Structure 1
Amino acid sequence: MFMTNNFDKDFHQRENPQVTIEQVWNQKSITLIDARSPDEFLAGFIPEAVNIPLLNNEERALVGTLYKQAGREPAIEKGYDLLEPRVGLLARYFENFSKEQELVVYCARGGMRSKAITALMRSLGYRASQLIGGYKAFRTWNLERLENYQLPNLVVLQGGTGVGKTLVLNQLRNSVDLEGLAQHRGSMVGGVGKKPATQKNFEANLLMALDCSDPNQVLFVEGESRNIGSTTISGNIHGQMKRARIAMLEASIETRTKRTVEEYITSQPQETTEIRKRIDFLVKDLGKNKVAELTSLFDAGNYHDCFQFILVNYYDRKYAHSMGKLTIELTVSTEDISEAARTLEKHFSL
C-alpha cells in the first residue's frame, strides 16, 4: 500500500513513457484515464475514457487562480497539498485496474496533472503512460480527421417523420446513427427524454463510429440538416452526405402515426408534460386556434389524432420544402422494417 506519510512532491518532474493519440485510438486493450476535473470531462472526453480527477472543479479553479496571481511554484505546492490527503483513496481506486493492463493518462495539454497521475501509478507498479499533448492534441486531431475523412460508398436514407429511418439503420450491418450520437432526434421534440451530447463528444464519437465501420462496404446514414439539436456535423462529412446516393423510405400515415406515438409517448410516459409544451411552439406555423385544438386532443389522451395532424400539416410540409430536387435511386417501404433493411443491403451491395 502506498503510504501517505512518505508522499513525495516530485511526481510532476518525473519522466514517463509517452504515447501519441494515433497509438492509443480505438485500441480496446488500452484503458484511457482522464485526469481533468469533472466539469472538463463532461464538456468533452476521448471515447471510453475513465475520469479520475487529480483536482475537483473547485480545487482546479483555486489552483488556477493561484497560478495567475502568485506564479507556478505556489500553484504546484497548493496542488500537492490538495492531493496528499487523497493519495490513499486514489491508490485503492487504482486497484480496479490490473497491473498487467496498459493504461494511458491524459489531462488538458499533457502537463502536470497527467504527469503526476502517471508517475503515481507507475510508483505503484502499474503500466501507465502519458498521452502527448493531452485532450487538446486529441481535439485538434479529431477535427482534422473529420475534415479530411472520405466516405466513397455513402448512402443517405431520406423519409418523413415516423417512417422508421432509425429503426432501419439499426438493422443495417454497416451504418452510423447520427441522431444516436447527438442524442437528439433532429426534430422539434427531438431532445425530449434525451441527454444531448456536447459538440466535442459528438465529434469524438462520430470519428469512432466512422473508424469502426467497414470502408469496403456501403455505409448508410440518415439524411440530416447540418445541425442536429445543438450539435453540428462537420462541413466535409455533411458535404459528402449531400452528394451521396439516396434511398427514400416510405410508410403509410397510420404506420407513421403509430411509430411517432410509440417513440414520443408510450416509450417515455414521464416526458408527456414536456411534449405537450412543445406543441405550443407550432403557433407560428399552425395558428393559435389549431394549436388549441391539438392541445385539447393531447390532454384527452387522443395522441393518435394529435400527432397525425402534426405529421401531415407540419412535418411533411417542412420536409417537402427541405428536399428540393433530389435524385432518388431507390424507394423502399418500411411497413416491415427487417424487409426494408434487406432490400437496401441487396440493392446497394458492392
Structure 2
Amino acid sequence: MDVRRLELLRELADRGSIAAVAAATHRTPSAVSQQLKVLEREAGVPLTERVGRGIQLTGAGAALAATARQIATAIESAEALWSEFTRAPQGTVTLSTFPTAGQMLLPGLLTMLTDEPGLEVAVTDHDLDRPDWATLTPDFDIVLADSQGVPAHWSQGGLRVITLMTEPFDVAMPLGHRLADKAVLKPADLVDEPWVGAPVGYPYDRVLDGLAAYTGRAPRIVQRIMDNLIVERLVAAGIGLAILPRFTTRIHDTGIVTRPIAGIPAERQINALLRADRAERPSVRRILELLELEGRRVQSRYQHPAHRR
C-alpha cells in the first residue's frame, strides 16, 4: 500500500469528511476520493461507507487508519533519529493556545527561544465556544489544552498528551464580601450565593457541578460568560461569585479577592496535545521541553501566591 494513500485515510479519520481532507492536503475532493478508492482496491475490503450525504470509515477502515498513524509515527521517529546525528532542532513549530495558557507560558517560551538559533514558533490563539481541543491537532504541531483529567477520546484518537502544569481554581468575590475573612472556603459556605458561571462544559463550570453534588443544591447561576476579564468586572460589581484560575486572575486594584475552596476537585491540567508522529520531530520535542520547563517555573512562582489577599 502506498504510504501517501494511507495518510489520506488517516486524515479522513481525523477530519471526518472528504472536503476537509481535500482542503487540508491541497487536493480536489475528487482526487482524494480516487486515491481512497485505489487504497480500497489494494486492501481488498471496503474502507468507507455512505452515511446520509457523507461517508464514515468501516471497521476495516478505522483499523487501517490506526495503522497509518503508527506508520507516520515510525517515519517521523526515523527522521528525528537521523536529524539528531546531523544538526540541532530547526524549523517552525505551529502552536495553538487559549488565552490563559498563553498568558502563563508564552512569554517564557518565546524568551527562551532567543537561545535556540534556527528554531521558531508560530502561535495562533483560540478560545473555543465548546472546547474540544483535539479538533485542532490536525492543523497544529502542538495544541495547548486545559482539562480535568485526560478525556478518553484523546487517547483513543492516538494523540499524545503531555501535562505541562496544574493550576488551582479559586472562588472570586468582591472586596468586603462576607466570606473574604475566611482563609479557605468550604462548599457549605457557598450555598445560596449567586454565581457568574462559565459556558457549560468548561473546567470552571465542572467545579460548580462538584459543588452541587457535594451540597445537594444547584448553584444559582445569574450569567454565563466565557471571557475571564468580563467575569472579573462582574464579580467586582457584586453581580455574583465566580470560579477563576489562580495564576492569571487579576486581583490587584480590580476590586476582587480570591480564596481557595476545599472538599471538591478545583483544579485543571494545562496539557500539550499533539499527533504521535509530530511528537517525534526534534523541533517539536524541543519546544515541548521548553514548555514543560516554563510550566514548572509558573507553578513554582505561585506556590505561595502573594498576590492573593
The TM-score with structure 1 as length reference comes to 0.31
Greater percentage in helix: 1
Greater percentage in strand: 2
Give 1 or 2 for the bigger CA radius of gyration.
Answer: 1
